[in-house]
């Protein structure tokens, strides 16, 4: 999806297209906690980084702003790149919501986009 967005403006440089494509996958960097969680799941002190932080740390407005600012600094065509990076990032969030039917179940709670709440069960 990010690659398609990146190529919607053919005049962007390779770097700028790479930044737009990167913005479409970087929200899932918060899923890397699954490695620590799997390695420690049977230990005395398990690290529940994936269960607690996936779809939280990288899937919010603050992280979208950080990604957009970082990409804008790295780009020459700043406005076009910032706009496409922001679109690409948010398409990722929309795809996550559609793919999870708007709910991301974790430990009896569900999260909708940018905040979490208890489901009452
Ligand atoms: Zn995601």
What are the residue boundaries of the structural domains of the chain, listed by start?
Answer: 2-118
| Separation of CA 30 and ligand 1 centre (Å) | 8
| Separation of CA 56 and ligand 1 centre (Å) | 9
Q: What pLDDT, on a 0 to 100 scale, did the predictor assign at position 115?
A: 46
Q: Is the pLDDT of residue 105 over 80?
A: no
Q: What is the pLDDT of residues 16-55, one digit of tens each?
A: 999 999 999 999 999 999 999 999 999 999 999 999 988 8
| Separation of CA 15 and ligand 1 centre (Å) | 23
Q: State the DSSP string of the chain.
A: -HHHHHTTSTTS-HHHHHHHHHHTTGGGGGGGHHHHHHHHTTSSS---HHHHHTTTSSSSHHHHHHHHHHHHHH-SSHHHHHHHHHHHHHHHHHHHHHHTTT-EEETTEEEETTEEEE---
| Separation of CA 90 and ligand 1 centre (Å) | 10
| Separation of CA 6 and ligand 1 centre (Å) | 18
Q: What pLDDT, on a 0 to 100 scale, did the predictor assign at position 72?
A: 97
What is the model's pTM?
Answer: 0.78
């Amino acid at each position: 999806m990010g690659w398609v967005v990146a190529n919607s403006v053919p005049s962007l440089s390779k770097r700028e297209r790479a930044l737009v494509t990167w913005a479409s996958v970087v929200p899932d960097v918060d899923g890397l906690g699954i490695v620590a969680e799997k390695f420690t799941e049977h230990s005395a002190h398990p690290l529940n980084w994936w269960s607690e932080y996936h779809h939280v740390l990288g899937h919010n407005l603050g992280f979208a702003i950080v990604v957009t600012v970082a990409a804008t600094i790295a780009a020459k065509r700043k406005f076009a790149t910032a706009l496409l990076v922001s679109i690409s990032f948010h398409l990722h969030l929309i795809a996550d919501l559609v793919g999870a039917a708007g709910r991301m179940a974790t430990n009896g709670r569900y999260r909708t986009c940018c905040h979490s709440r208890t489901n009452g069960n």
